[in-house]
Amino acid sequence: MAPVLVVGAVLSCGHGPITVKSNAILTVAGQPVLLADDARSQAAFKCSLSTPCTAFGPFEGLSTVLTVRGQRVLLTTTTAKTLPNGSLIITAPGQTVLVAK
């Protein structure tokens, strides 16, 4: 079991912090959870570089049991590459209430 990531999560691409958006209907402590299909797009995941990472994924270590409208939820165990040359670093999930596997 691992904490579910929400919009308040502290994430980095290895170069700088990533700001995230989510419109998921599932929220934890008022913050939407992060979903894999959303996270693949730069519109949802955006790093702070002047030339930001252009893509995130493939994602591994996603929840195998918790989905929202068919999209798997990101956990603290999730890993991903970022393009062109980084990887997802999860410092904090943004909430401590909901865990999943």
Q: Which residues bind Zn ion (CB under 5 A)?
A: 13, 15, 47, 49, 53
Residue tagged 């040359």 (tokens): 85
Pairing relation of β-strands 79-83 and 86-87? Answer: antiparallel
Q: Using CB atoms, what's the residue nearest to Zn ion?
A: 47
State which residue, 81 or 99, has the beta carbon closest to Zn ion.
81
Region of 23 on the Ramachandran plot (φ > 0 left; ψ -120 to 50 alpha; else beta): alpha
CB of 47 to Zn ion, least distance (A): 3
State which residue, 34 or 47, has the beta carbon closest to Zn ion.
47
CB of 31 to Zn ion, least distance (A): 22
Q: What are phi and psi of 39, to 5 degrees?
A: -70, -20
Residue 87 pairs in a beta bridge with 81
State which residue, 14 or 29, has the beta carbon closest to Zn ion.
14
